[in-house]
Chains A and B, each alone.
Chain A
């Protein structure tokens, strides 16, 4: 079988189809890495591109990501067993004092869909917890999100905590969220700003110099 049907099932958000087609693909002898790289990643790339140009919207992205995760859950143990490395590791969370998480979750889904290992540390995350997660995972990317103007300054505290832990040179920091702008990201000294979840993958790849 070719992997086109699985790709389409992911893009269409067909959860049941994704499970079945992933199992069939494995049965047919495709390696988990090939299924990831030739079905899941391109499917999420298509969804991300369409999202960016308002051809699909948040509901369609959420549904596609759910389908992608279903397939990924079947592949992950096999990928680990065969020692396949993710393209990069990212720690993602919403800043302390803020519980809004849709934007942050969309970024996690997009990065996972591009083959990143993502440690989602959740919402209302204290600087120390971000630092610990970066240490624990050896992440190259740290993504911080906020929706509130009242909590956006908390991003500064995270950057300061990274410096204090001597990690600032080892991890690239991406920031985003409704009130965040490029100017604010520059003021913070962040390495990248994403104006939407759709561009997070490009930014992360740029930072890690992955084509």
Chain B
């Protein structure tokens, strides 16, 4: 079975020959630059391996094709480029600024960046704020310039499943531009502002996505975007509020990909079990990351409840096991997640989030090796 067919079979919730493995296929399932360097050195790919960022903000890489083949990884990412107008760029103080006017402060060497300011911070929320904003051009040629060559190269170099990474969704974008707490409060106190933003952002997103899929629809196997909707304890907002305010926009975003017959992988951190029926209803095919340390995210229960209708993607704990466990504990974690999630198909194995700077190389290798060992159908 080709790597691509393995992933596509898992997406159809049928059993492939073995559980497919993702490392570096999405913006939330790849690897921090420092751990990546150590991994490349460890495997003999040179002392100073070349680095291509998948996301500068998270200091995470698009792993080298040689590494992915050595580890027999089944997924690859293609990513949208920086826009020509207002590209993401580093400021003199080391922070980043992007086309949305969001400031990203660096948490320190080896760490990611976190949003600390944006165009809607401290403003009076209302539809006028959305209208007055200078919206970026969804069709800015910079986004699409390298898409086709990225995808073609991957098609020639491998038979892996190619994922078009579309970036963050509407929930994150309003939080980046407005601040997390204010954007959450606005859901209650300024719903007209939120609605205006959702409508305008969805329009942007759909036009960008359709343009990208016209460019590479024949070369990519699925699309991915991320909108975190969970905390450790439960959904970040009332599921009823999600259904009323956000879900219609998510449905519109999913439809943009479905028009091109592409399966959709949603990344949504935390305890989102209560929202999975909604994800299924709007056509989400697979859910990353299955954050197993959050409440109600037990893998056996999730599989039993939703395994017929959605594919689970991720599942290997990044809170404790990967950074602080032993390789033996990593193996046990992999064995357990495969036992829970793999039966009948419908599981792509990977880390719950990007593998961070403190994760030992031995644990990354243990994850991949154990996936091969325990993943046979």
Cβ of B256 under 8 Å from chain A: no
Chain A interface helix/strand/loop/mixed: loop
Please indicate the chain A residues that have their CB under 8 angstroms from the CB of B323 in the complex: 149-150
| Docked pose: A23 CA to B87 CA in angstroms | 51
Q: Could you say which residues of chain A place their CB within 8 Å of the CB of B233?
A: 54, 195-196, 198
The reply to whether B320 and A150 form a contact with Cβ atoms under 8 Å apart is no
Name A7-34 residues within 8 Å CB distance of B: 13
* A91-131 with Cβ < 8 A to chain B: 97-100, 102, 105, 124
Query: Which residues of chain B in 175-232 are interfacial with respect to chain A, using CB atoms and an 8 Å cutoff?
Result: 180-181, 184-185, 187-189, 231-232
A149 near B358: Cβ-Cβ < 8 Å: yes
* Chain B residues, CB < 8 A from A150: 110-111, 323, 356-358
B188: which of A59, A98, A99, A102 is its contact (CB, 8 Å)?
A59
Complex interface bits, B339-359 against A, C-beta within 8 A gives 1, otherwise 0:
000000000000000001110
Task: Establish whether residues A57 and B105, one from each chain, have CB atoms under 8 Å apart when the complex forms.
Answer: no
Interface residues on A, range: 20 to 34
Shortest Cβ distance from B186 into A: residue = A59
A 157-196 contacts with B by CB, 8 A: 178-179, 181, 184, 195-196
Please measure, in the bound complex, the distance between the C-alpha atom of A13 and the C-alpha atom of B185, giving whole angstroms: 10
Residue from A57, A105, A124, A149 within 8 A of B319 (CB atoms): A149
| Minimal beta-carbon separation of A61 from chain B (angstroms) | 9
**Stretch of B42-50, B121-129, B234-242 lying at the A interface:** B234-242
- CA A151 – CA B356 in complex, angstroms? 11
- For the complex, count residues of B whose C-beta is within 8 A of A: 32
Contact partner, B185, options A62, A184, A195, Cβ 8 Å: A62
Rounded to whole angstroms, the CA-CA distance of A98 and B116 in the bound complex is 12
Which A residues from 125 to 154 make CB contacts under 8 A with B? 148-151
Contacts known (A149-B323, A150-B357, A181-B320); A58 close to B232, Cβ less than 8 A: no
CB distance from B114 to the nearest CB of A (A): 5
Knowing A149-B323, A181-B320 touch, does A62 contact B181 (C-beta < 8 A)? yes
A54 touches B234 (CB 8 A): yes
Give the residue name and chain of the A residue nearest to B105 (CB): A99
Complex interface: chain B residues within 8 A of A102 (CB): 180-181
A149→B116 CA distance, assembly (Å): 20
Q: Does A207 contact B (CB under 8 A)?
A: no
Point out the residue from B116, B185, B236, B320 that lies within 8 Å of A63, measured CB to CB.
B185
Q: Which residue in B107, B185, B318 is a CB contact (below 8 Å) of A99?
A: B107
Rounded to whole Å, the gap between the CB of A198 and the closest CB of chain B is 8
Bound Cα distance A13, B189 (Å): 9
By a CB distance below 8 angstroms, the chain A residues around B293 are: 178-179, 181
CB proximity of B34 to chain A, nearest CB, Å: 10
* Of A57, A60, A97, A99, most B-chain CB atoms within 10 Å: A57
State the B residues within 8 Å of A (CB).
105, 107-108, 110-111, 114, 116, 180-181, 184-185, 187-189, 231-238, 241, 293, 318-320, 323-324, 356-358
CB pairs A–B below 8 angstroms (13 shown) = A59-B237, A63-B188, A63-B189, A97-B111, A98-B107, A99-B114, A124-B107, A150-B111, A178-B232, A179-B319, A181-B293, A181-B320, A195-B232
Query: 7 tightest A-B contacts by CB?
Result: A179-B319, A59-B184, A99-B114, A196-B233, A54-B234, A59-B187, A57-B238
Other A-B pairs, 19, CB within 8 Å; known A57-B234, A150-B356: A13-B188, A57-B236, A57-B237, A57-B241, A58-B184, A58-B231, A59-B237, A59-B241, A62-B181, A62-B184, A97-B108, A97-B111, A99-B116, A102-B181, A105-B181, A148-B107, A149-B356, A151-B107, A178-B231
Residues of A within 8 A of B (CB): 13, 54, 56-60, 62-63, 66, 97-100, 102, 105, 124, 148-151, 178-179, 181, 184, 195-196, 198
